[in-house]
């Protein structure tokens, strides 16, 4: 049974970096490529990091109900293409969705079984440093920092929390969450025939009497 994993964090926390490194280390999961109206940053590729489109085209797609969810963030639209998520679920492939906090709550409403992960910065000072290193002006960094202070309390509403003090550690923890989620009872029982070759063991798991359970 395919799962939807949602990684969210305040701007500048490093969620895109974590996601990129994760996808190099784990199989069976595809990143959902978000659509945005913002200008590409240096090194970003259309169709890989984001789908970059005009505001007019984005609003047209809103009317066509193209998005699972969408929001306006810092003056730009961001949206999750519905067809990508539906295709992955149909094909049995896990999805990784990297979105802002308000988008994560919307996705959780639509997919209650989605596994949500909140990425925290180690400190506000470090978060500001990362913002400035990405080229944000002081005024822009201050605005994003104030927004981050409102988003950080949302961490307690997520299924998992990771502190991004060291990138490799954060990637390892996210990878562990995904691996553990794939071993949940319902997930394994759903695909037992595909992952367990022994028919005898499958039969015992599904219909045998549990010796240690008290009646």
- CA-only gyration radius of the chain, Å: 20
pLDDT tier for residue 124 given thresholds of 50, 70 and 90: very high
Q: Where are the domains of the chain?
A: 4-207
pLDDT tier for residue 55 given thresholds of 50, 70 and 90: very high
pLDDT of residue 215 exceeding 60: no
Q: What is the pTM of this model?
A: 0.88
Sorted by sequence, the CB contacts under 8 Å of residue 215 that are 6+ apart come out as none
Q: What fold is seen in the domain 4-207?
A: Rossmann fold (3.40.50)
Longest dimension (CA), the chain: 65
Question: Strands 115-120 and 160-163, how do they pair?
Answer: parallel
pLDDT digit string, tens, across residues 129-176: 888 877 666 667 888 899 999 999 999 999 999 999 999 999 999 999
């Amino acid at each position: 049974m395919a799962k939807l994993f949602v990684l969210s964090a305040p701007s500048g926390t490093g969620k895109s970096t974590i996601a990129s490194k994760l996808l190099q280390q784990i199989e069976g999961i595809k990143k959902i490529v978000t659509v945005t109206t913002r200008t590409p940053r240096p090194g970003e590729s259309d169709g890989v990091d984001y789908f970059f489109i005009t505001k007019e085209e984005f609003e047209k797609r809103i009317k066509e109900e193209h998005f699972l969810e969408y929001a306006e963030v810092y003056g730009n639209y961001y949206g999750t293409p519905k067809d990508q998520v539906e295709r992955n679920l149909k094909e049995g492939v896990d999805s990784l969705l990297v979105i802002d906090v308000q988008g994560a709550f919307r996705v959780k409403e639509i997919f209650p079984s989605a596994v949500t992960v909140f990425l925290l910065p180690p400190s506000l000072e470090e978060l500001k440093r990362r913002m400035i290193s990405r080229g944000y002006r002081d005024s822009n960094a201050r605005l994003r920092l104030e927004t981050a202070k409102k988003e950080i309390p949302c961490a307690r509403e997520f299924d998992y929390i990771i502190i991004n003090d060291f990138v490799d550690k954060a990637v390892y923890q996210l990878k562990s969450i995904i691996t553990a989620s794939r071993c949940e009872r319902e997930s394994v029982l759903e695909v037992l025939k595909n992952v367990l070759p022994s028919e005898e063991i499958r039969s015992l798991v599904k219909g045998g009497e549990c010796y240690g359970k008290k009646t």
